[in-house]
Amino acid sequence: MKKLLVYLKEYKKETILAPLFKLLEATLELFVPLVVAAIIDVGIAGGDTGYILRMVGILVLLGAVGLAFSITAQFFAAKAAVGFVKKLRQVLFFHIQKLSYTELDTQGTSTLITRMTSDMNQVQSGLNLTLRLLMRSPFVIVGAMVMAFTVDSKAALVFAVDIPALALVVFGIMFASIPLYRKVQSRLDGVMLLTRENLTGVRVLRAFCKEEEQVREFSQKNQELTDMQKFVGRISALLNPLTYIIVNAAIIALIWVGALRVDMGLLTQGAVVALYNYMAQILTEMVKLANMIINLTRSIACGNRIAAVLEVEPTVTDGNGVRSNLRVKEQNEPGEPESGAGTRSETVPEEDCAVIRGESENSSAVGEKQCFAVEFRHAHLRYPNAADESLTDIDFAVKPGETVGVIGGTGSGKSSLVNLIPRFYDCEKGQVLVDGADVRDYSLDDLRGRIGVVPQKAVLFAGTIRENLQWGRRDAAEKEMIAALKTAQIAEIIEKKENGLDSLVEQGGRNFSGGQRQRLTIARALVRRPEILILDDSSSALDYATDAALRKAIAAMQPKPTLFLVSQRTSSIMHADKIVVLDDGQVAGIGTHGDLLNTCSVYREIYESQFHDASGKSDGEVPAV
């Protein structure tokens, strides 16, 4: 929590003025019992109405000035608390954006949402109360005791016994409740996770008739949260009654001692009333302090959780900004996009490329000069806490403009492989190179600015179609967007809409079908004019004809991007320049469709499971779609 206070630097003035004005208010409040005592002992005892009215006027003045101080303190406290949380929320959101997939997978979406919402609100509330009461309440408690000793030192000994007892109760409950509030927040995370899974997967739940099971699971987690909150609540609930018992017992003792001293003529009636008022002030401030401490313990627990996320260091960080070792030049004139591609960089002639390597599978002769757009050099990937590697010794290279199909069984590592290119994950061993430079040497903006990625799950954002396409490139012209939509085979559907590119997209794109969402996300990637385009099983919702038309349109783009096509369909990748077959994280074969049918049993098994004649035998050839 202490590490978060650095974000209060911008509000130094407010953090000083808020407690200061509260102390001024508290100072005025300490004089009220003395004025009341004077009214009783002088005004009422002497029947001096004018004196009484003057003292009442002083009380009104003290109240008015104290109210002004209180409002001013509240203004500064609120400004500091709201500003602090605003800054902290921005810092946390920016930090989350820097986290790699590895950290996001580890932290969990529901946990991060809780940190950004309920934890932030709790920190804001705790800081507001702290600025207003942390100094005021102890000041009033100590000040009331000092003032009581100025009235009558022997009667005020009751205060000397009462205040330590109150402190013992308050701080004892505080230290007992702090760790319990951490458990409450942890159980709240579990409820939020389950709620999120149920809301996002409601169709699946209903399809498998899992509603009752999920209701039982939710009830169990909700009951665990409730039980923990009740347990903490019972401990916290002891605070008020215990403080009231101690203070009221002290009041009884005070009145008894005061009455004896009045009978002895050592104390006036007004002084007894003043002592009683000081005791009442102590009671009020103790209750405020207790509630503030309870709130503060929650805020500290929430602040520590936020700090824990900020302490997570991203494993994928910016490189040293090295750009590709290949020179680039512009292919098209500005404003003349072709096939949705627009202008982008093109590699220089092959004779200017460096000698990279000469494996037989990637070059015709050892030492031959090659320009590789993407190259995997014995890359290995292991996810955090995983027992085995997800990718093992991936080694192949891809020339600029080539189409690479990636196929394999479920869990074979297809998405993991293409996720290494934009550095969504970093390989544990080996290298991934783009244009001859290690991806870890690029700045992330430079690297990912070259790459268009269409993930498995089509994600659209609330807004308009135009705004969603501009995620690909903010300054994209309308004709570039239309060209990208045509390449993605969805231009006709958009043109039929009343508002065209300005048609609304609901959250998650739920007002579009699955296939339309996929094509819009492909168009968004094409607007970027990427040098490398990754389609990670992003046409699974498309029919074969649309899928074929999409691949044909991408192949016709000028300049043509280097295409990585991840698919479960052999029909989608069979015409690729190179097909990479994965099996349990390892390369089972690399080659063309015809080569792999003859040399790779894994590929042949996948192919025959999808295309076979009536007798169950493969026909060996698939008609062009």
What token pair was written down for 381? 């990937």
The residues that bridge with 397 in the sheet, in sequence order, are: 375
Kind plus residue range of the DSSP H or E element containing 431: strand 429-434
- Write the Ramachandran bin of 408: left for phi over 0, alpha for psi from -120 to 50, otherwise beta: left
Average pLDDT, the chain: 83
* Nearest Cα to Cα of residue 531 among 363, 346, 378, 328: 346
**What's residue 1's pLDDT?**
67
**What's residue 296's pLDDT?**
84
**What's residue 387's pLDDT?**
79
Q: pLDDT tens for residues 75-99?
A: 999 999 999 999 999 999 999 988 8
Rounded to whole angstroms, what are the CA distances from 328 to 124, 347, 440, 451, 531? 51, 5, 20, 15, 11
Q: What is the pTM of this model?
A: 0.71
Is beta strand 345-347 parallel, antiparallel or unpaired with respect to 374-381?
unpaired
Per-residue pLDDT averaged across 358-375, rounded?
A: 54
Taking the C-alpha atoms of residue 413 and residue 580, their distance in angstroms, rounded to an integer, is: 11
Taking the C-alpha atoms of residue 586 and residue 263, their distance in angstroms, rounded to an integer, is: 98
Taking the C-alpha atoms of residue 225 and residue 115, their distance in angstroms, rounded to an integer, is: 17
Kind plus residue range of the DSSP H or E element containing 572: helix 570-573
Q: Report helix angle 269-310 to 157-200, nearest 10.
A: 30
Q: Rounded to the nearest 5°, which phi and psi values hold at 589? A: 180, 150
Largest Cα–Cα distance of the chain, in whole Å? 120
Taking the C-alpha atoms of residue 269 and residue 263, their distance in angstroms, rounded to an integer, is: 10
β strands within 135-212, DSSP E: none
* Nearest Cα to Cα of residue 374 among 396, 353, 357: 396
Place of tokens 């993991």: 416
The pLDDT-based confidence of 332 (bands split at 50, 70, 90) is very low
Q: pLDDT tens for residues 548-599?
A: 898 899 988 888 899 999 988 888 898 899 999 999 989 999 999 999 999 9
| pLDDT above 70 coverage of the chain, percent | 89
> 567, 580 in Cβ contact below 8 A?
no
The pLDDT-based confidence of 322 (bands split at 50, 70, 90) is low
Q: pLDDT tens for residues 509-528?
A: 888 988 899 999 999 999 98
Taking the C-alpha atoms of residue 147 and residue 434, their distance in angstroms, rounded to an integer, is: 77
Taking the C-alpha atoms of residue 368 and residue 594, their distance in angstroms, rounded to an integer, is: 26
Q: pLDDT tens for residues 8-43?
A: 888 999 999 999 999 999 999 999 999 998 998 888
Handedness of CA 536, 539, 545, 551 (dihedral sign): negative
Q: Indicate the residue type of 413.
A: G
Taking the C-alpha atoms of residue 591 and residue 169, their distance in angstroms, rounded to an integer, is: 76
**What's residue 355's pLDDT?**
39
Place of tokens 């994600």: 459
